[in-house]
């Protein structure tokens, strides 16, 4: 059976829907582990209740340890600062060196946990940390066969970043939606697998927009995973300027 790993940061509602789809046989996969950057993530409780291996890597503590003594901070044995720095597209802080080093340290810990299970696919289900080239190159090195999937709360390429639904609402859009896409070095820039859209009515609040969006996310993620595990997704790189996902 196909093996699926999931990373979350909070309640894990998408993670729960994915697990339920696997339990029911709608997605031909077994969820082998659920991890988080937040030790208090409520989604980890669901994993424990359903006998799914769970773990947490505390990014905040890692950063705190680095700040105490940067020179003594132990990095992974395969860490190559120049390689990561050259590939890194997005850095949300001014201290690029600290960002790269602490992220690589945290990502090595995540890799050590999930690679024990040899998953076929990694799903980011509300995981609020961007993955650096250090992680991507080790888990999903083949651009023709990417193995990390994310869901974003907007119709990409519009409104990438943290608050897709909020940005959609604030801009006054008449249509909102969500996007399931592969993960690459950029921020929400990977090849798009599928999108689902909803109408934003004049009287809708931001809460209405978020509710409509998450309900579509619960449909979109299992649908995309089903396509992936059935081998129906192909990356077309015939256009040098972009990568297109074809459903075959």
Residue in the structure block whose two tokens are 């909020």: 166
Encoded tokens for 108: 């090595």
User: What is the distance between the alpha carbons of residues 172 and 118, in angstroms, rounded to a whole number?
Assistant: 44
Write out the E strands in the chain. 2-8, 29-36, 53-56, 121-124, 148-152, 175-182, 192-199, 233-236, 244-247
Task: Count other Cβ atoms within 10 Å, centred on residue 17.
Answer: 18
User: 152 catalytic, yes or no?
Assistant: yes
Among 152, 181, 196, 212, which one carries the catalytic annotation? 152
Q: Which helix (H) or strand (E) holds 96?
A: helix 96-114
Tell me which residues are annotated as active site.
152
């Amino acid at each position: 059976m196909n093996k699926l790993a999931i990373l979350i940061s909070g309640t894990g509602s998408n993670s729960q829907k994915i697990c339920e789809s696997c339990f029911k046989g709608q997605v031909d996969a077994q969820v082998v582990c659920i991890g988080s950057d937040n030790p208090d993530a409520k989604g980890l409780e669901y994993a424990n209740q359903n006998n799914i291996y769970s773990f947490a890597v505390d990014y905040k503590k890692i950063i705190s340890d680095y700040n105490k003594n940067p020179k003594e901070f132990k990095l992974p044995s395969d860490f190559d600062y120049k390689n990561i720095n050259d590939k890194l597209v997005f850095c949300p802080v001014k201290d690029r060196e600290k960002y790269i080093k602490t992220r690589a340290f945290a990502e090595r810990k995540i890799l050590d946990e999930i690679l024990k299970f040899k998953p076929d696919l990694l799903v980011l289900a509300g995981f609020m940390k961007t993955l650096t080239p250090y992680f991507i190159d080790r888990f999903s090195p083949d651009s023709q066969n990417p193995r990390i999937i994310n869901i974003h709360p907007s119709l990409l390429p519009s409104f990438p970043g943290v608050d897709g639904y909020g940005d959609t609402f604030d801009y006054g859009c008449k249509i909102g939606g969500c996007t399931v896409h592969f993960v690459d070095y950029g921020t929400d820039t990977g090849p798009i697998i599928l999108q689902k859209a909803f109408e934003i009515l004049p009287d809708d609040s931001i809460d209405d927009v978020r509710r409509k969006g998450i309900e579509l996310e619960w449909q979109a993620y299992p649908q995309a995973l089903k396509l992936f595990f059935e081998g129906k997704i192909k990356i077309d790189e015939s256009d040098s300027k972009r990568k297109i996902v074809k459903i075959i």
